Chains A and B, each alone.
Chain A
Amino acid sequence: AQSVTQLGSHVSVSEGALVLLRCNYSSSVPPYLFWYVQYPNQGLQLLLKYTTGATLVKGINGFEAEFKKSETSFHLTKPSAHMSDAAEYFCAVRGAITGANNLFFGTGTRLTVIP
């Protein structure tokens, strides 16, 4: 069954500090994994995705994530937090049905950046 678990519904970091948002997945097929960001009163925007190939993927706004099959993880990181990074972040995994395009989302992690 497809699912993602995001550890920590709220994460607070100081401006300039490392951002680490955790995501573990369960998938019955080779996973395609995604991170989305949601700013207040807006829809979700794609940050980055892993499908095949290089396990370290880089996204927008300086974020990156590493796919670790042995740990079934896809944690999101950014070396130095900016105030503008404050938002809700969602990890997602694709559906298992061949050809299906639907995504299954985690419950989200709200990132607060402290000045």
Chain B
Amino acid sequence: GAGVSQSPSNKVTEKGKDVELRCDPISGHTALYWYRQRLGQGLEFLIYFQGNSAPDKSGLPSDRFSAERTGESVSTLTIQRTQQEDSAVYLCASSKSLYGYTFGSGTRLTVV
């Protein structure tokens, strides 16, 4: 597609439930990134996929968070046993190089 597509755009879940967020990158973009944006805060790096290399998971806040990407296509971010502090906007971006980040519109996650 023309842009980075994220789904769902909004998600409300009960504390303790698992959620799965999806990101469709721009075709041909080898790199894919997940960021978390809490209310009133900046973007917090979560994970970075580059081609077939092992992902950089250094930003994942706990073992409840995991992400997968098949090749250079769709990525899913999974949060298990959600907590209220997980409430945030989760942003995905893709790029062919350092200079060409394209962000999606994000998934707003609310844990109640």
Contact = CB atoms under 8 A, between A and B. Distances in A.
Interface string B22-58: 0000000001010100001111010010100000100
A102 to B, nearest CB: 5
Most B CB atoms within 10 A — which of A43, A106, A107? A43
Interface stretch (B12-20, B64-72, B73-81, B94-102): B94-102
Given A101-B48, A102-B48, A107-B42, A43 B4 contact: yes
Given A102-B33, A102-B45, A106-B42, A42 B105 contact: yes
Nearest to A102: B48
A49 interface: yes
Interface in A71-115: 90, 94, 100-108
A70 interface: no
A105 B93 CA distance: 13
Main secondary structure of the interface of A (DSSP, over half): loop
B98 A32 contact: yes
Given A41-B105, A43-B104, A44-B103, A94 B98 contact: yes
A44 B43 CA distance: 10
Contacts of A9: 40
B48 A44 contact: no
A60 B100 CA distance: 15
A107 B33 contact: no
A45 interface: yes
Interface of A: 6, 9, 32, 34, 36, 41-46, 49, 51, 90, 94, 100-108
Given A101-B31, A102-B45, A108-B41, 16 more contacts: A9-B40, A32-B98, A36-B101, A41-B105, A42-B105, A43-B93, A43-B103, A44-B103, A51-B99, A90-B42, A100-B50, A101-B48, A101-B95, A102-B33, A103-B33, A107-B42
